[in-house]
Chains A and B, each alone.
Chain A
Amino acid sequence: MSVFHRFANPNRFLKLTNTVLPWVSGITVVSLVAGLYMAFFTSPPDYQQGESVRIMYIHVPSAWMAMFIYTSIAIASVCSLIWRHPLADLAAKASAPIGAGFTFLALATGSLWGKPMWGAWWVWDARLTSVLILFFLYLGHMALMNAFEEQERGNRAAAILAIVGFVNIPIIKFSVDWWNTLHQPASVMRADGPSIDPSMLWPLLIMGLAFKFFYLAVLLIKIKSELIEAKLRKYRRAMVDSA
């Protein structure tokens, strides 16, 4: 708990961010370049799907991120409601647009992949539908957060909504096991180890790493700018008061 409260101080957090951010950004760039190179050039085409299998290297990590970021928002919301941690609200606020972006990316790339494989841009199967619901949960979260005069109330209301909406996450994860769907079942994160060949698994994992660090980098930058903006507001008010 002491570490948890230690970085509730904005200045201490800013200092930490400034040291960590270059490393996080560096890992993002390196893993993104390496992952994309492996995905496009060194990984083999699929024996059934041909070259279009390469969509997977964007699609699957985006879908992971869509669920991961929503989970992070739910955890941040719990922290904000229970401990009133000031950074938790900022983190939830900064994460929502990124998560919505990744969800949209997962849906869009899935649609592009579905056309050659299933013969349709969109099918109403359980996984696609539940991810679409997730997208609307993100939009609702963002809309509710900005719907109030005081930011504090918006944060609180959005936090409650995020926790309620969390029921959708296990439904997305297990939808492919519970219902017979067109979408294939899990092939990486499963109990008996991944069922996918190493030549495809490695680029996929590296892309997953790149996306995760990309999220972390953008999150840190956004929290940092929010903190600086709050400071600026304070200075401006002080100047107006003294004038």
Chain B
Amino acid sequence: MNGFLNIVSKDLRLALRQRSDLTMAVLFFILTAMLFPFGLGPEPNLLARIAPGIIWVTALLSVLLSLERIFLADYEDGSLEQLVLSCASLEIAILAKVLAHWLTTGLPLIMAAPLIALLFNMDTEAITILLIAMLLGTPSLSLIGAIAGTLTLGARRGGVLIPLLVLPLYIPTLIFGVGAIDAAMNSLEAGAVIANARPHLLLLGAILLVSLLITPLAGAAALKQALE
């Protein structure tokens, strides 16, 4: 547990000292989302209807941008090896790295999402569901992304490979993330919002649990062969 907290606090301190890394994902998120009203025209109803998809897709791309960062810097300066030696188990080290990544990427994205949602004319109930869905979905993005991060350590063109490996595995999160908000927006009675979004949110939770199980195992196997 000590090793876990050490890794998380080390990564957080690093991120806070190099703030450009921290802000880059959020800035990218907001800027790409801003492009859509220019591309599609400012019609409020249209924007409200496509907002869930745009927010999820841009969030996904922003996470993608930062995936290489999780392990590569530590791998290149050799501290990853020390970290693996000092930590009780590889699985815990990986979960710690993922948590730090989520705190520096996923959480800022969630905080920026309501702003974009307001600009896109989404109503408050849909925004609530959006936040719940992102709280359940973005940790899965970090978890699945960490697998690709460990697999491509030391690869030629690792940065180009990551999207190819990760995007197919991101699609279920995207589908149910958008599905939850769409279901909430399409519910006619006020009380049915949560009930309609519930199945999608449960599936997002299921994806999170499965990736919580798979990532430490696959990531540990990948790290082992990367550091051999």
Q: Which residues of A contact B (CB under 8 A)?
A: 81, 129, 133, 136-137, 139-140, 143-144, 147-149, 153, 156-157, 160-161, 163-165, 167-168, 171
B168 within 8 A of A: yes
Q: For window 187-226 of chain B, which residues contact chain A by CB distance below 8 Å? A: 210, 214, 218, 221-222, 225-226
Q: Which of B158, B167, B222, B225 is within 8 Å of A147, CB to CB?
A: B158
Contacts of B161 in A (CB 8 A): 140, 143-144, 147
Q: Show the binding face of B for A, using Cβ within 8 Å.
A: 147, 151-152, 154-158, 161, 164-165, 167-169, 171-172, 210, 214, 218, 221-222, 225-226
Q: Beyond A160-B221, A161-B151, is A147–B164 a contact (Cβ under 8 Å)?
A: no
A136 to B218, Cβ gap below 8 A? no
The 5 A-B pairs with the shortest beta carbon distances in the complex, nearest first, are A147-B155, A136-B168, A156-B225, A133-B168, A140-B165
List the B side residues contacting A164 at CB < 8 Å: 147, 169, 214, 218
Q: Enumerate chain A residues within 8 angstroms of B218, measured Cβ to Cβ.
A: 160, 163-164
When the two chains form the complex, which single residue of B154, B168, B221 contacts A148, counting CB atoms closer than 8 Å? Answer: B154
Contacting pair B168 A157 (CB below 8 A): no
B residues in contact with A160, CB < 8 Å? 147, 151, 218, 221-222
Q: Is the interface of B mostly helix, strand, loop or mixed?
A: helix
CA distance A167 to B222 in the complex (A): 18
B210 in contact with A157 (CB, 8 Å): no
Cα–Cα distance between A133 and B174 once the two chains are bound (Å): 13
The answer to whether B171 and A129 have CB atoms under 8 Å apart is yes
Q: Are B221's CB and A81's CB within 8 A?
A: yes
Cβ contact within 8 Å between A149 and B156: yes
Instruction: Output the residue of A137, A144, A171 with the most chain B CB within 10 A.
Output: A144
Distance in angstroms between the alpha carbons of A163 and B151 in the assembled complex: 13
With A133-B171, A163-B218, A165-B169 as known contacts, state yes or no: A140 contacts B164, CB within 8 Å.
yes
**In the complex, what residues of B have CB within 8 A of residue A137's CB?**
168
